[in-house]
Structure 1
């Protein structure tokens, strides 16, 4: 009887702890982080008012998915490049991965690019032994799918002119070419057992600095950059070192998944507004929850001032500045086990 009491207690205690991959209710956030909540919403209101980035000419249409977990979305829009940002499967066996690869290879997109997620166990040699032997014996036929694991891929695409007529459509003579450089990396801050979940590193450690090639146009990761489409409050489930690395490289597009509730897309403008946002979100709060922290309030003021300047520069003078379109392409609707989020489409 005593043994049962001591073995059950940790499980009961753990069951009461909130799941960091579930959204925190608004009233609780208002109590725990009122100033950061203001900072968060002010940042997103300001950035939403800025003009959308102008795609290059010729335009490449990128279709983004992630976290399909053995499912196959019924309606995947057409495009030039299809990107899957990891967690193709649940258990990560060869059989599960192969089924997803077969489906991806059957889609009509010109190019298909895939990285691993933490559930794609077989693809990480460190976690592969956790699979039963019969589920990890053999190899994967990637077909026409480009699998990127800390690797850069350069593609040259033949693209239709914007107003091409039906007689020239699809003809090489009526097309223009554009080269695009894609880099993919699967590592994530630890969220489960190291022996089971693939490509994990201890949270708080730097697994990103100086790892992404500077000429990268599209970056594909499984983890989000911290405080961007990652359930930023109260703590953020992304990686702060990845955020810094993305700012260093400034790719045109960054595609990821992992945090299902963060699905969507936004534009990150690498300016003083973003710097004030990041500084404020990283402030460690005391028992006053930031209400009496002058530095946190100063970041709120700076964000408003810098944001207003950025809006004037954009709307009056037509300037845009350096930016990255960030996309959380998770298909899984929260932690329901069912698909429900829309496929993300971006023109670059």
Structure 2
């Protein structure tokens, strides 16, 4: 349903469990409707590693499971593996087609490799919502690993890969312009620059994020960047090369349950029930990207910390979300600003890296908990 139609669609809370960078680990997963894995399922992408990861994911009780690869899942990048596979699996070469079939042949996993899908939740006891998602494994060059591209230089080169199997520079912009403008959820292995990235993210992805403005951007790759941010967008469109001018404010999430041993979930509540509702098309916008002081309008306080209330019962489906007052929240209006869903006012960025330590993991591996996101999504039935 195109955003410009102005048709009101009810929304309902949908619980999304986000993980990334599990690196052969099988962590405890909280309950939810949708599971998203943002890449690096393995250490070196062997068939046995991938088989264990896929079996673990297939057993997980989620109505939908979205999975992308990461730079460590090297057999899933056929071109890279043909050039560099012997450096990793010299005595036991792997079959990339057989490895890939573990994911593409799964009956319960939606595997995305720079592609999109529409997901409709149909279980009678489920929320009955739907969403569009785009997933991509690509990330900026950092060592010799799969799905990597060179950062842009002063002289753009032709598309394709160089002798090292690294994508040439102009492919960066072309990669991220391929993100459809109507997606609800963006899943990439790399973070965008300055957003949960410890300065290792992609500048071009940041520009794409400002253009597309998904409801949620799920990523990983940078283990120390684990966390969440709520990015508020202005309504004047892009005016800087990297989209910085479109950002009104950024709020850093405070994990309500940061201790790995805690049984409580690390919850980001975007529904407004236990936290602060995500801004959308119908909300009044600050003029010229300026912040509106709290109390002067109906806009929630932009400076307020991201609140995370107690976990709610994901089995309850009688809680159709509300706007500021109406019973039914509009999915879209004819609000002025960027065309299509780029008119959305806010994106929540989630870096959900599970492995907290970096190689060689001095003192042993350390782990983060999955990040759980409660999000209002349109009801299809």
- The TM-score normalised by the length of structure 2 is 0.59
C-alpha displacement of 1:278: 3.6
Please, what is the CA RMSD of the aligned residues?
2.8
Query: 2:6 aligned with 1:58, yes or no?
Result: no
Query: 2:305 aligned with 1:318, yes or no?
Result: no
Match of 2:374 in 1: 347
User: What CA distance in whole angstroms lies between the structure 2 residues aligned with 1:60 and 1:175?
Assistant: 9
Match of 2:24 in 1: 70
Match of 2:33 in 1: 80
User: What CA distance in whole angstroms lies between the structure 2 residues aligned with 1:118 and 1:278?
Assistant: 27
Which range is displaced more, 328-337 or 78-87? Answer: 328-337
Does the aligned pair in 1 maintain the 2:234–2:288 contact within 8 Å?
no
User: What CA distance in whole angstroms lies between the structure 1 residues aligned with 2:46 and 2:93?
Assistant: 5
Secondary structure at the residue paired with 1:230? coil
Match of 2:128 in 1: 177
- Unaligned runs of at least 5 residues, structure 2: 1-9, 153-168, 248-285, 301-343, 376-381
C-alpha displacement of 1:58: 0.9
Secondary structure at the residue paired with 1:177? coil
User: What CA distance in whole angstroms lies between the structure 2 residues aligned with 1:104 and 1:339?
Assistant: 21
User: What CA distance in whole angstroms lies between the structure 2 residues aligned with 1:98 and 1:92?
Assistant: 10
Q: CA, structure 1 residues 152+136, in 2 after alignment: closer, same or farther (shift >3 Å)?
A: same
Decide which of 200, 214, 218 is 1:255's aligned counterpart: 218
User: What CA distance in whole angstroms lies between the structure 2 residues aligned with 1:222 and 1:107?
Assistant: 21
The answer to which structure has the higher helix fraction is 1
Match of 1:202 in 2: 150
Match of 2:303 in 1: none
User: What CA distance in whole angstroms lies between the structure 2 residues aligned with 1:339 and 1:132?
Assistant: 29
Match of 2:195 in 1: 228
Secondary structure at the residue paired with 1:98? helix
Match of 1:186 in 2: 137
Greater radius of gyration (CA):
1
Does the aligned pair in 2 maintain the 1:128–1:136 contact within 8 Å?
no
Tell me the number of residue pairs that the alignment of Structure 1 and Structure 2 aligns.
247
Secondary structure at the residue paired with 1:141? helix
User: What CA distance in whole angstroms lies between the structure 2 residues aligned with 1:328 and 1:306?
Assistant: 30
Decide which of 102, 111, 121 is 1:141's aligned counterpart: 102
Query: 2:103 aligned with 1:103, yes or no?
Result: no
User: What CA distance in whole angstroms lies between the structure 1 residues aligned with 2:130 and 2:289?
Assistant: 36
C-alpha displacement of 1:97: 1.1
List 4+ stretches of structure 1 deviating above 6 A: 272-277, 305-308
C-alpha displacement of 1:339: 4.0
Q: CA, structure 1 residues 89+306, in 2 after alignment: closer, same or farther (shift >3 Å)?
A: farther
Q: CA, structure 1 residues 91+275, in 2 after alignment: closer, same or farther (shift >3 Å)?
A: same
Q: CA, structure 1 residues 315+103, in 2 after alignment: closer, same or farther (shift >3 Å)?
A: farther
